């Protein structure tokens, strides 16, 4: 669902607007390559200064940032609501998740990344071996609009905690939220521009890819991810790609059907389905299918889209996404699917009310491509094995969920996904010590957790000779008999089975 243009508009500024009212939220520069390169140049000394603070100095400042976010959450949530359209409670959830990640990354960076001794081998027993995790330097972060706080912060705070400076390009739909975050950090860390903002459309993101940053963390659609990777390839800039998903929920024979239905409705419809790890398809086994569908229908009927205080879900933030949702719905109905909740009339831009679909053929668009809207297709399968087979046949592999008892963990393991929740949905995203990322079309690399910290470092190996060996191993002067001895010893140690 790449929506942005590669060429900037003629004007040097653009506005972000409220997706419901059209009210202008802010005016921002369309930063070209020169502005982006200048930001990266400013980030270089900032990165050195920030790295020089050490783990403790950074922890203090990151925890101060966390405290500020927690105290000013209402203001930030209100801005998220104005610019993205989501209900305040949804905005609060993402701020809460971001605060938890910030807290974890700040406190754990030293433990995860401090230099550590590692064992050597018998042959090189005289070498003390250690590994260190220095920061890569300057990290570029490109973010989407659907979770304008939690998603980019998932990269930003781990990159900062690992000792890097960051240049952040938020989505052109949510630059004011990006500005808010960067300004808040700058208020607390005044000495150097450790976290900077660049704004604009796709071309600004492309300029960041080509700017010579030491790593690029991208979150967005697979189509744009490919362009990002191609642009980064020009300078061999390493990338983390956090892309879309077509996440499954599997409901097994022994599942708590009520809990599964509640989770499917929340996981599929909250934030109007505009979640990379939304439940986008459900496979329920034959013994529970009818009960499960009845529970889902009863719950989904109560979910309403709107802009008022009591609405459960907000608008579709990106106007063009409504066309994708309508296309997926029309295609499913044309192929014989039935809508048990909602139908074509549910699409009333900028809102889409929930639609629960059954009897959807597996090759329908809504079963194959990311919908990013509140459509919930539920499919009957003979058993959980069939569900896993169908789940793994899709090229995406971001998140998943399994409801059941006896086989639930085993099913979770057999799914080709970066993360799976058993008997809940989306939970893995909120656990800071877990890595987050996908496989296949969902991307690669990891944010969050120890892996997410290491992602923004360059592991550096060091050996230190503690004493010379009695024979010179790595020398042209080594004794002639040494290689035959080593051959015999290798056969003895490694060649016996
Ligand atoms: P998008 O790919 O259209 O845009 C993402 C960002 O990339 C924006 O900031 C955009 O300006 C920038 N961009 C566009 N063209 C570019 C180019 N050529 N070079 C560099 N940058 C460019 O995605 P979106 O519509 O903003 O976000 C929705 C997508 O993001 C969905 O597919 C969703 O699943 C995915 N997403 C993934 C995660 C995750 O963690 N895996 C989280 C949230 C959203």
* 5, pLDDT greater than 60: no
Residues 237-259, mean pLDDT to the nearest whole number: 98
Residue 148 is predicted with a pLDDT of 98
The answer to whether 465 and 129 have CB atoms below 8 angstroms apart is no
User: Which residue's CA is the nearest one to ligand 1's atom 41?
Assistant: 242
Tell me if 443 is assigned to some domain. no
Residues 285-297, mean pLDDT to the nearest whole number: 98
One domain, residues 167 and 278: no
Instruction: Single out the residue of 146, 153, 170, 54 nearest to residue 101, CA to CA.
Output: 153
Query: For residue 145, how far is its CA from the centre of ligand 1 (angstroms)?
Result: 8
Give the SS3 label for residue 244. coil
One domain, residues 239 and 340: no
Query: For residue 170, how far is its CA from the centre of ligand 1 (angstroms)?
Result: 9
Residues 233-243, mean pLDDT to the nearest whole number: 98
* 8, pLDDT greater than 90: no
- Spatial neighbors of 489 by CB under 8 A, at least 6 apart, are none
Length of the chain: 497
One domain, residues 152 and 118: yes
* 437, pLDDT greater than 70: yes
One domain, residues 272 and 190: no
Could you tell me the CATH number of the domain that includes residue 378? 3.40.309.10
Please tell me which residue, 494 or 497, carries the higher pLDDT value.
494
- Spatial neighbors of 449 by CB under 8 A, at least 6 apart, are 432, 433, 434, 435, 436
Q: Ligand 1 test: best mutation among 5, 176, 220, 397, most atoms within 8 Å of CB?
A: 220
Tell me if 130 is assigned to some domain. yes
DSSP β-bridge partners for residue 463:
129
Kindly state the DSSP code that residue 426 receives in the 8-state scheme. S
Kindly state the DSSP code that residue 156 receives in the 8-state scheme. H
User: Which residue's CA is the nearest one to ligand 1's atom 42?
Assistant: 276
Q: pLDDT tens digits for 66-100?
A: 999 999 999 999 999 999 999 999 999 999 999 99
Tell me if 347 is assigned to some domain. yes
- Spatial neighbors of 250 by CB under 8 A, at least 6 apart, are 282, 283, 284, 384, 387, 388, 391, 400, 401, 402, 403, 404, 411, 415
One domain, residues 179 and 271: no
Judge if the beta carbon of residue 397 lies within 6 A of ligand 1: no
Catalytic-role residue among 276, 295, 369, 370:
276
User: Which residue's CA is the nearest one to ligand 1's atom 21?
Assistant: 205
Token digits of residue 45: 């000394």
Atom of ligand 1 nearest to the CA of 225: 2
Q: Is position 242 annotated as part of the catalytic site?
A: yes
Q: pLDDT tens digits for 301-334?
A: 999 999 998 999 999 999 999 999 999 999 999 9
For residue 379, the number of C-alpha atoms closer than 13 Å in the C-beta half-sphere is: 26
Tell me if 277 is assigned to some domain. yes
Query: For residue 204, how far is its CA from the centre of ligand 1 (angstroms)?
Result: 13
Q: pLDDT tens digits for 136-177?
A: 999 999 999 999 999 999 999 999 999 999 999 999 999 999
Judge if the beta carbon of residue 216 lies within 6 A of ligand 1: no
Tell me if 300 is assigned to some domain. yes
Tell me if 477 is assigned to some domain. no
User: Domain limits at 305?
Assistant: 248-433
One domain, residues 387 and 259: yes
One domain, residues 172 and 258: no
Judge if the beta carbon of residue 448 lies within 6 A of ligand 1: no
Catalytic-role residue among 59, 242, 370, 441:
242
Residue 469 is predicted with a pLDDT of 87
Residues 337-343, mean pLDDT to the nearest whole number: 98
Query: For residue 418, how far is its CA from the centre of ligand 1 (angstroms)?
Result: 18
Tell me if 62 is assigned to some domain. yes
User: Which residue's CA is the nearest one to ligand 1's atom 19?
Assistant: 206
One domain, residues 156 and 273: no
DSSP β-bridge partners for residue 29:
13
Judge if the beta carbon of residue 221 lies within 6 A of ligand 1: yes
Burial of 496 (0-12, 13-18, 19+ CB in 10 A): exposed
Query: For residue 65, how far is its CA from the centre of ligand 1 (angstroms)?
Result: 26
Judge if the beta carbon of residue 147 lies within 6 A of ligand 1: yes
What is the rounded CA–CA span in Å between residue 458 and residue 322?
42
Question: What CA–CA distances, in Å, run from 45 to 145, 239, 487?
Answer: 30, 22, 51
> Cβ of 192: how many Cβ atoms within 10 Å?
17
Judge if the beta carbon of residue 425 lies within 6 A of ligand 1: no
Q: Ligand 1 test: best mutation among 36, 221, 242, 272, most atoms within 8 Å of CB?
A: 221
Residue 80 is predicted with a pLDDT of 98
Residue 2 is predicted with a pLDDT of 41
Q: Is position 77 annotated as part of the catalytic site?
A: no
End-to-end alpha carbon distance in the chain: 53
Residue 10 is predicted with a pLDDT of 47
One domain, residues 239 and 268: no
* 179, pLDDT greater than 90: yes
* 232, pLDDT greater than 50: yes
**Which of 388, 403, 433 is the last residue in one of the domains?**
433
Residues 204-213, mean pLDDT to the nearest whole number: 98
**Which of 374, 402, 433 is the last residue in one of the domains?**
433
Burial of 96 (0-12, 13-18, 19+ CB in 10 A): middle
pTM: 0.95
Q: Ligand 1 test: best mutation among 144, 239, 396, most atoms within 8 Å of CB?
A: 144
Tell me if 131 is assigned to some domain. yes
Judge if the beta carbon of residue 3 lies within 6 A of ligand 1: yes
Q: pLDDT tens digits for 29-44?
A: 999 999 999 999 999 9
One domain, residues 296 and 400: yes
Confidence of residue 11 (pLDDT cuts 50, 70, 90): low
Instruction: Single out the residue of 59, 81, 199, 63 nearest to residue 141, CA to CA.
Output: 199
Domain count, the chain: 2
Q: Using DSSP, how many helices (H) and how many strands (E) does the chain show?
A: 17, 22
* 235, pLDDT greater than 50: yes
Residue 460 is predicted with a pLDDT of 98
One domain, residues 233 and 300: no
Could you tell me the CATH number of the domain that includes residue 106? 3.40.605.10
Query: For residue 271, how far is its CA from the centre of ligand 1 (angstroms)?
Result: 17
Residue 470 is predicted with a pLDDT of 84
One domain, residues 151 and 296: no
User: With b meaning 16 or more CB within 10 Å and e meaning fewer, what string describes 430-458?
Assistant: ebbebbbbbebbbbbbbbbbbbbbbbbbe
> Cβ of 385: how many Cβ atoms within 10 Å?
13
User: Which residue's CA is the nearest one to ligand 1's atom 9?
Assistant: 171
């Amino acid at each position: 669902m790449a929506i942005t243009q590669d060429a900037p508009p003629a004007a040097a500024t653009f506005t972000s607007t409220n997706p419901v009212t059209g009210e202008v939220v802010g005016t921002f520069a369309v930063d070209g390559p020169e502005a982006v390169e200048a930001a990266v140049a400013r980030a270089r000394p900032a990165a050195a200064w920030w790295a020089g603070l050490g783990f403790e100095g950074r922890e203090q400042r990151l925890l101060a940032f966390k405290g500020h976010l927690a105290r000013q959450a209402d203001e930030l949530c209100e801005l998220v609501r104005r610019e993205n359209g989501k209900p305040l409670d949804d905005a609060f959830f993402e701020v809460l998740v971001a605060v938890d990640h910030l807290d974890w990354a700040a406190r754990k960076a030293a433990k995860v990344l401090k230099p550590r001794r590692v064992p050597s081998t018998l042959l090189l027993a005289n070498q003390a071996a250690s590994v260190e995790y220095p920061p890569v330097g300057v990290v570029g972060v490109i973010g989407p609009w659907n979770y304008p706080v939690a998603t980019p912060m998932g990269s930003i705070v781990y990159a900062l905690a690992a000792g890097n400076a960051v240049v952040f390009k938020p989505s052109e739909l949510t630059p004011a939220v990006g500005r808010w975050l960067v300004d808040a950090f700058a208020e607390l860390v005044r000495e150097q521009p450790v976290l900077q903002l660049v704004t604009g459309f796709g071309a600004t993101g492309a300029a960041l890819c080509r700017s010579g940053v030491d790593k690029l963390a991208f979150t967005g659609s697979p189509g744009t991810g490919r362009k990002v990777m191609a642009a980064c390839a020009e300078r061999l800039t390493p990338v983390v790609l956090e892309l879309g998903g077509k996440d499954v929920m599997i409901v097994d024979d022994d599942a708590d059907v009520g809990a599964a239905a509640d989770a499917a409705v929340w996981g599929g419809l909250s934030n109007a389905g505009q979640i990379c790890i939304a439940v986008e398809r459900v496979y329920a086994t034959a013994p529970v299918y009818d009960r499960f569908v009845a529970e889902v229908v009863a719950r989904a009927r109560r979910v309403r889209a709107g802009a008022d205080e009591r609405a459960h879900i907000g608008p579709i933030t990106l106007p063009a996404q409504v066309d994708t949702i309508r296309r997926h719905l029309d295609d499913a109905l044309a192929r014989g699917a039935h809508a048990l909740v909602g139908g074509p009339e549910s699409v009333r831009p900028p809102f889409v009310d929930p639609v629960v679909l059954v009897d959807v053929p597996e090759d329908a668009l809504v079963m194959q491509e990311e919908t990013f809207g509140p459509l919930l297709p539920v499919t009957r399968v003979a058993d959980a094995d069939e569900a896993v087979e169908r789940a793994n046949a899709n090229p995406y592999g971001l998140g998943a969920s399994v409801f059941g008892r006896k086989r639930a963990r085993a099913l979770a393991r057999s799914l080709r996904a970066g993360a799976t929740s058993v008997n809940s949905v989306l939970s893995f995203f909120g656990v800071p010590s877990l890595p987050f990322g996908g496989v296949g079309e969902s991307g690669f690399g990891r944010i969050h957790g120890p892996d997410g910290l290491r992602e923004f470092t360059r592991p550096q190996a060091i050996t230190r000779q503690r004493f010379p060996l009695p024979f010179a191993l790595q020398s042209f002067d080594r004794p002639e008999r040494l290689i035959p001895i080593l051959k015999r010893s290798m056969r003895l140690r490694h060649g016996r089975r």
